[in-house]
Structure 1
Amino acid sequence: MAWERSIRLPPAVQPQRDVPRLGPVASAAVVDIDMAPGAPQLGRMCNRYQPGERQRIQDHFNARLLREYNAGPPTVHPKEPGWVVRIKDGETVLEQMTWGFPMVLRGKQGQPLKPKPVNNARFDKLGAFWKRWASQPDHRCLIPTSRYAEAVGPAGKMTETWLSLKNEPLFAWAGLWRSSEEWGDCYTGVMTENAPELADIHDRSPVILLPDQWQAWLTTPLEDLYRFDTPFPADAMEVEATSDLWARPKMKGKAA
């Protein structure tokens, strides 16, 4: 693919925050994670994607399956299991984690509320809110993706629009992961600005990494990653607008 990413300089490093736990007036941190206090993570950012079939993922990334897992959902929503590729003990491995870092909000009386999944991380916040994980290569990962969806249209009538790479069955979405008390190992996808031609769909998109960029994302220092903070070319994307309403399907039971 004949194109180059422009280099964006890193933002000024801000004081590092601890594990996300917000009070009712923590507005600055709320802005960092694109989430209004107490609001569910639905609808406006990339909140569903399809990873593809496990064996194809394993072959594409040349990764060893860490252990046996259930198949997982064909379309992944926040707080559901999805596939993650990372380096463990010098080896590329494939495993399942929960999509979304648990964000613990607090009520008016200071009581902890049910955690919300923060499934997207802004690239321009990797040196601030997300620095605790982004600065450590061991806490970076690749999220195998065949396509992802955005909600398009007026409120209440939003429909699914799916985006994928032309002539590519899979791609790597740059991610971060950590262990949590609430959900065990979990991950979040890193977002950057969208190509101007696709801004009517959303102003941001996943950070899409080509195979020759995987190693850099998983191993190099944080300051070397800002070359990836740039829109992926619109002419390399396949856009499929649908009439399917943007509504999360109801779960009919627990996975075996």
Structure 2
Amino acid sequence: MCNLYTLRTSAAEVASLFGAAPPLATNSPDETVPGHPGLVVRELEGQRVVQSMTWGFPLPQKSKRSGQPIKPLPVNNVADLAKPMWRGIAPKPRWRCIIPATGFAEAEGEPRRKTRTWFSVKDQPIFAWAGFWRESVEWGPVYTGLMTGCNEAVRPYHDRMPVLLHPDEHDRWLQGDMDDVIGFQARRYPPALIVVERTSELWIKRAGAAQAGAESRWL
């Protein structure tokens, strides 16, 4: 699963690259973790727009002690399109989005000593991750990313990876039918296009900061 990615560029540059209207206001950090804001590109009335949303569909939770509702968990990755949470979302183009990113990370190493290994796309400083979005009562607009099985470049680090889109596939993702969605998830992105950067950077940083190890879910 993917619990950490970066978008180290401006919202205006994202809008220019994806042919979207310039955003009026956005809220997105350089590093995005579940339950925090990030930028997506979606279609609105026939035009692409850049919008800030919370990463993760809220999954209701109850206290084991009291049985009362507590803070939801963010479901930030989609693994099984047959799950009830996705059945009404995945077939409808209006709930599709593109998640622009400059890199995504997986944890590597021993517990409490895990480091960040970063993945990016060759010759694409900003690449596209296939996503879904919706309006939620809890957090307003929210989004999540579609996952697939890993390719050979990612396999040493994780058995899953984001569904990455080639530049000429953006329209088909945003406008295609359910067969297109299934096809994107079934294929494997070319491993030769993945750039791997192993680092000594700790996976979980200082207390109080946005954490890559924050509790989240994939379904």
Task: State TM-score, norm by structure 2.
Answer: 0.88
Q: Which residue does the alignment assign to 2:39?
A: 83
Q: Which residue does the alignment assign to 2:181?
A: 225
RMSD: 1.7
SS at match of 1:196: coil
Task: State TM-score, norm by structure 1.
Answer: 0.76
Gaps of 5+ in 1: 1-44
Whose strand proportion is higher, 1 or 2? 2
Partners of 1:211 and 1:240 lie apart in 2 by 23
Contact 2:56 2:75 in 1 (8 A): yes
AA in 1 matched with 2:20: A
Partners of 1:79 and 1:204 lie apart in 2 by 20
Contact 2:149 2:188 in 1 (8 A): yes
Contact 2:133 2:141 in 1 (8 A): yes
AA in 1 matched with 2:61: L
1:244-255 alignment to 2 at 5 Å? 244-251=201-208
Contact 1:216 1:225 in 2 (8 A): no
AA in 2 matched with 1:83: L
Gaps of 5+ in 2: 211-219
Give, in angstroms, the shift of residue 65 of structure 1: 3.0
Describe the shift of the 1:248–1:183 C-alpha distance in structure 2 as closer, same or farther (beyond 3 A). Answer: farther
Larger Cα-atom Rg: 1
SS at match of 1:115: strand
Q: Which residue does the alignment assign to 1:110?
A: 67
Percent same amino acid at aligned positions? 41
Q: Deviations over 1:104-126 (max 9, x none)?
A: 1223353212111111111xx22
Partners of 2:201 and 2:25 lie apart in 1 by 33
Contact 1:127 1:134 in 2 (8 A): no
Contact 1:145 1:171 in 2 (8 A): yes
Give, in angstroms, the shift of residue 198 of structure 1: 2.3
Q: Which residue does the alignment assign to 2:94?
A: 138
1:171 aligns with 2:127: yes
Q: Which residue does the alignment assign to 1:64?
A: 21
Q: Deviations over 1:57-83 (max 9, x none)?
A: 11110111342224x211111111111
